[in-house]
């Protein structure tokens, strides 16, 4: 059995060098928001406290408030996951 060549650099470096996207990805709901809306969503997520709030209820409130301000968001499950990314 041949000895494997030890690559120079880290695995992450090798992957970054090798990867080439074939086409652009989709912009997320968050990145489609205007900058001021993004800042407000980040502040709302910062204030989310899992010991005081239920994620689903908080996500529903976020969606309703964003809609009242004319901001399009993702669905409830996506926002629920997003809240957990603190």
Going from the first residue of the chain to its last (86 residues), give the mean pLDDT of each consecutive group of 10, the final group possibly shorter. 63 88 84 96 96 96 97 96 89
Amino acid 1: pLDDT: 55
Tell me the C-alpha distance between 9 and 71, whole Å: 44
Residue-wise DSSP of 24-59: --PPPHHHHS-HHHHHHHHHHHHH--TTT--HHHHH
Amino acid 66: pLDDT: 97
């Amino acid at each position: 059995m041949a000895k494997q060549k030890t690559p120079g650099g880290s695995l992450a470096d090798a992957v970054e060098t090798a990867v080439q996207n074939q086409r652009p990805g989709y912009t997320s709901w968050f990145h489609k928001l205007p900058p001021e809306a993004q800042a407000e969503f980040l502040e709302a997520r910062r204030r989310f406290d899992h010991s005081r709030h239920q994620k689903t209820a908080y996500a529903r409130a976020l969606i309703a408030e964003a809609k009242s301000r004319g901001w399009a968001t993702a669905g409830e499950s996506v926002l629920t996951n997003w809240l957990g990314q603190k």
